[in-house]
Amino acid sequence: MLLTDPKLLGALAELQVERKPAVRMASWTSLGIGGTTDMLTVCERRHLGAVFHLLRAHGIRHRLLGGGTNLLVGDGELPWVALRLGRVEPTVRIEGNCVWVDAAEDLGRAITTCAKANLGGLEGLAGLPGTVGGALRMNAGAYDTEIGKLVREVVVYRAVHGRIDTLPTDQFRFQYRRACVSTCDILLGARLELVERPCREILDRIYVCNFNRRASQPLSEKSAGCVFKNPAGASAGRLIDAMGLKGFRVGGAMVSDIHANFFVNRGRATCAEMQQLIEEVRERVWSAFHIELEEEIVLWVN
Ligand code: EPU
């Protein structure tokens, strides 16, 4: 365990940081893979700087955890603590056709709240698991919707300055499945500009997206969504499928037989097995098509 020093524990308690010792990260990730570490939940955003300072002073690394839905976490005892943002009410605040959403809010719940206020635009993302913070960090996209295109301002904790800033999007770039955030910045929320349309119409669109998703993706299995980004002008899933790799497995890690860019945990897969599967598939696609696949999922293996 990394958090043992009584002084450090006392200081974290004073900052109202909730601590869960020896958490199995497998229970906090949609892939169901990951070793053990201590978990800290920070509710008061203004305490973030003090928490970072304390951890650094004790030589302890941290990783910021959202919903854990796009992550491959290492096996065994992990060399960092997992830090989470606690929910702070109100997590969704509507202003005209704009909405302020907190990073800790569940993405699906945020979309439903907006729909009830007759605000659409996020329909394609309904059904994606995870938090708003994770969706912003990864510039989540599906069915012609990309969250970054709707963002007008981001709220960021800037560790270097020790303060919370609101930045317009021209200072903050979103790319395909990635937001350009400095490693010292933490996304705390965003203002999105949505489209006014009747709630019924929004719910109908959500229904159609969910129907298509259920028909083409292994939603009932443990996965982290698409493993690889789509290479320019091609589809990673189609390339892997064309190699006949659906059902190909390394131990408990398997290429889904529904969508070839989803790798599923068929029971007790380890991170090492999943990594081996990723490398094997990447090499085979490279030898056949001379296309280098790049991971979309985020690896926290050391
Ligand atoms: N295809 C196959 N075999 C497969 C999978 C797909 O031939 O095993 C073909 C499909 O028939 C289709 C094409 O490949 O012609 C594209 O497939 P799909 O429509 O499923 O979209 P995708 O490009 O594989 C992207 C996103 C998904 C998102 C869907 C729907 C990436 C890496 N993936 O998938 O996002 O849900 O479009 O909009 O951009 C994610 O990011 O984790 C994710 C799941």
Question: What are 40-97's pLDDT values in tens digits?
Answer: 999 889 899 999 999 999 999 999 999 999 999 999 999 999 999 998 889 999 999 9
The model's pTM: 0.95
Domain ranges within the chain, ordered by starting residue: 6-85, 92-200, 219-300
Q: Which CATH class is domain 92-200?
A: alpha beta
User: What is the mean predicted confidence (pLDDT) over 90-105?
Assistant: 96
Distance 14 CA to ligand 1 centre (A): 47
- What local confidence, expressed as pLDDT, does residue 126 receive? 94
The answer to whether residue 231 scores a pLDDT higher than 80 is: yes
Q: Measure Cα distances from 61 to 38, 54, 76, 81, 275 in Å.
A: 11, 11, 16, 6, 23
Confidence tier at 161 by pLDDT (50, 70, 90)? confident
Phi, psi at residue 216, to the nearest 5°?
A: -120, -5
CATH 3.30.70.1380 applies to domain 6-85: no
Any idea which residue has 């005209």 for tokens?
96
Distance 106 CA to ligand 1 centre (A): 23
Asked if 221 and 256 touch (Cβ cutoff 8 Å), the reply is yes
Nearest-CA residue for atom 24 of ligand 1: 237
The SS3 of residue 100 is: strand
- What local confidence, expressed as pLDDT, does residue 183 receive? 75
Active site includes 177?
yes
pLDDT tens digits, one per residue of 138-151: 999 999 999 999 99
pLDDT tens digits, one per residue of 255-300: 999 999 999 999 999 999 999 999 999 999 999 999 999 999 999 9
- What local confidence, expressed as pLDDT, does residue 170 receive? 80
Lining residues, ligand 1, CB within 6 Å: 142-143, 216, 225-226, 229-230, 235-238, 241, 259-261, 296
The answer to whether residue 226 scores a pLDDT higher than 80 is: yes
Confidence tier at 162 by pLDDT (50, 70, 90)? confident
What residue type is assigned to position 295 of the chain? Answer: E
The structural architecture, per CATH, of the domain 219-300 is Alpha-Beta Complex (3.90)
Looking at the chain, the whole-number percentage of residues with pLDDT higher than 70 is: 100
Distance 230 CA to ligand 1 centre (A): 8
Nearest-CA residue for atom 2 of ligand 1: 238
DSSP state of 221: S
Distance 232 CA to ligand 1 centre (A): 13
Cα torsion 57, 58, 64, 70: sign: positive
Q: Which residues pair with 33 in a beta bridge?
A: none
Active site includes 61?
no
- What local confidence, expressed as pLDDT, does residue 153 receive? 96
- What local confidence, expressed as pLDDT, does residue 172 receive? 78
- What local confidence, expressed as pLDDT, does residue 143 receive? 95
Q: Which of 20-24, 56-60, 173-177 has the lowest mean pLDDT?
A: 173-177
User: What is the mean predicted confidence (pLDDT) over 22-44?
Assistant: 97
Q: Which listed residue (177, 191, 205, 282) is catalytic?
A: 177
Q: Which listed residue (114, 226, 271, 282) is catalytic?
A: 226
Distance 251 CA to ligand 1 centre (A): 25
CA dihedral in degrees (232, 235, 240, 244; nearest 10)? -130
User: What is the mean predicted confidence (pLDDT) over 221-225?
Assistant: 98
User: What is the mean predicted confidence (pLDDT) over 98-108?
Assistant: 97
Residues in Cβ contact with 244 at an 8 Å cutoff, skipping those fewer than 6 apart: none
Pocket probe for ligand 1: among 30, 136, 261, 297, the residue whose CB has the most ligand atoms within 8 Å is 261
- What local confidence, expressed as pLDDT, does residue 116 receive? 97
